[in-house]
Structure 1
Amino acid sequence: MKDGSLHIHFIVNPIAGKGGPPLSKQFLEQFFVSGLHHLSVKHSTFKKHAIALTQKSIEENADIIVACGGDGTINEVASCLVGSSIPLGIVPIGSGNGLATNLSIPKNIRKALEIIKNQNSIKIDVGKTNDKYFFCNTGVGFDASVIKNYESLGRRTLSGYLRACLTSFQELGSPQKVQININGLNFPINPFMIFASNSNEMGYRFTLTPNASLQDGLLDVLVITKIGKLKILWLGLLLLLNRPYLLKESRYFQTNHLELHSVDGGSLDSQVDGELHLVEDGMISIQIVKKAIEVIVPSNIQE
């Protein structure tokens, strides 16, 4: 706190939350107390711009840095804050909002800002895949294919996500063989999906790992072998019922580390917090970093 005021920096993705009020400094100031709160508002204009804006806010000694957007924006901002003493605030105005939902942060902007003003914070675990952090989940296989098709649509809506799922379903082919090393087991698999999650929410209130926790020091991992289209429809029903682990072809693990590599040495498509990430050498190391970031949450949530 400087000059007797709390310096709160907002990193806003203006593309997120279309149809809502623009998160300008003038709009946000009406929810804060002049003299007690000093606001700085920065708008990202391209992918990964939020990283540079957050780093600048760190240099400017912000007391709180708030990510305003979806899971992609939150990932860019939060990745800069891992290991720092600056707490992360979240105003979920994106499409999926998986992390915010898991933390009970509402989409209502006024209510989300009240949470930030109250400054109740907890430390949560962070996932790391190779050199990239994730806060919700990462995966290879069908979910990466969905994200690839989702990004190509150019719009982030639930209808767009469902359309991407349908496209990936129609494109379903022979999966690339992957070697997986987890909990002392080392085996090859033709995966429909390998999904590692730190959070119990994927976004849109869907979950593949309903028992995952942000504070247990473990990743929840769902491994599903190659399945046909009828079984995919059955998995879709189980997903709606929050029971994906009931699929016979699935295996469920909890671990603090796993490794994947493509058997043929080719590249692997992966998704990291809903963003496509190509791993050119086909080698993926996934681990958990315990209590690595401080996040402002509702007052009823405690360590």
Structure 2
Amino acid sequence: MASSASSAAGTRRRAAVVVNPIKKTDYDIRALIDGICRDEGWDEPMWLETTKEDPGRGMAREALEAGVDLVIAAGGDGTVRCVAAELTGTDTPLGLLPLGTGNLLARNLDIAVDDPEGAVTAALTGTDRRIDVVHVTLDRELKGDVFLVMAGLGYDAALMGDTNDALKDRVGWLAYVDAGVRNLPGKPVKSTIRMDGGKEISGHPRSVMGGNCGKIVGGLEIFPGARIDDGLLDIMTMAPKGRFGWFAVVAGLLRRGKGKGTSVEYYQCKEAEIFTEVPQEFEVDGDHLGKASHVAFRVDPSALRVRMAHGKKDPAILSDPQV
């Protein structure tokens, strides 16, 4: 359900800003947000910086304990994911000031990635929409993780883990292309996917991915039609065969998995488990988490409130494109 973020008469609100200090910008983030808060009648925001040891979860908990009305994640996909993990299941909304290379959640929700003033204004004055969160457990560990956009086991995770940070700072998302080309050689691994505790799919894919929404940089839909509020998890497998197998994968992505010989398959479920014969690289929302031979996904429907600008939304991403 949509709700206005405007303050009731006589009531002042306060936002917390969880900011990644290593993200460089050509403007003063603090001055920008302080000024917009002042102009919109909000109190001076609470400022919390992430650290290498804690990329955002502890700061988000501190903001919740302070009773703020909004938590703005100012950083890349990793900062957004960590803050969202703590806000999941609460009524405190998440606002976004995209500062990263991918900014995948912002792109999927049409939140400005190149207009910081617009993004902050939307966070303070926009509307709330509830979206799904996907919980992740690696090798049956007690403490899991979450993702908002997509996660992957195999090739895509190896790509993320092998991306040169210095190159990423210099050329942006093209650094992923460099890592992708270097990681094309490799052997498929025997895997089994169990969906909703029943149906099993076995094969030898190079990558198994789970998606909460579909778009990546450049507008390419990795998970076509995956809606972020439908209570469903989208699963995709990529299984290139032979010397020119990756061409079939590309064809499968362009044809959205339709047609013969594409080497790409899509499924939908609410829960999924992935078993691999040997441990594989794993990533969530672009963050490389190491290796695992068992991954469990579980959708938490409508678990997170996200603040975004008023206006019609992409029906391919949100089930109800209401204003």
TM, length-normalised to structure 1 = 0.88
1:222 corresponding residue in structure 2: 236
Amino acid at match of 1:294: R
Of the three residues 65, 68, 76, the one matched with 2:71 is 65
Candidates 23, 32, 36, aligned match of 2:37: 32
How far does residue 143 in structure 1 lie from its aligned partner after superposition? 0.6
The aligned residue for residue 75 of structure 1 is 81
- SS in structure 2 of the partner of residue 133 of structure 1: strand
- Superposed displacement of residue 229, structure 1: 4.9
> What are the superposed Cα offsets for residues 220-269 of structure 1, whole Å, 9 maximum, x if unpaired?
11112243452314534664x47455552221111111111123xx4332
**In the alignment, is residue 293 of structure 1 matched against residue 304 of structure 2?**
yes
Query: Residue 155 of structure 1: which of 160, 168, 171 is its match?
Result: 168
Q: Secondary structure at the match of 2:132?
A: strand
Partner residue in 2 for 1:103: 109
For the pair 1:127 / 2:134, whether they are aligned, the reply is: yes
Residue 190 of structure 2 aligns with an amino acid whose one-letter code is: K
Q: What SS is found at the alignment partner of 1:211? A: coil
> Per the alignment, do residues 78 and 238 of structure 1 end up closer, same or farther by CA in structure 2, a change over 3 Å counting?
same
Q: Distance in 2 between matches of 1:219 and 1:187?
A: 16
- Which one-letter code corresponds to 1:110 in the other structure? E
2:75/2:97 contact within 8 Å kept = yes
Percent identical among aligned pairs is 23
1:260 and 2:274 matched? yes
Moved more, 113-122 or 151-160: 151-160
2:202 is aligned, of 188, 198, 204, to 188
Structure 2 gaps, min length 5: 1-6, 138-143, 314-321
Deviations 1:96-152 (Å, cap 9, x if unpaired)?
A: 111111111012111111111214101101111111110001111211111111166
Secondary structure of the structure 1 residue equivalent to 2:300: strand
More displaced stretch, 115-124 vs 244-253: 244-253
- Find 2:98's aligned residue among 86, 92, 96: 92
Q: Give 1:159's aligned amino acid.
A: L
RMSD: 2.4
- Pick which of 267-276 and 285-294 moved more: 267-276
How many residues align? The count is 295
SS at match of 1:48: coil
Contact map agreement 2:252 2:264 (CA 8 A) in 1: no
Matches of 2:39 and 2:98, distance apart in 1:
24
Q: Distance in 1 between matches of 2:151 and 2:180?
A: 17
Q: Which runs of 5+ in 1 are unaligned?
A: none
Q: What TM-score do you get using the length of structure 2 for normalisation?
A: 0.83
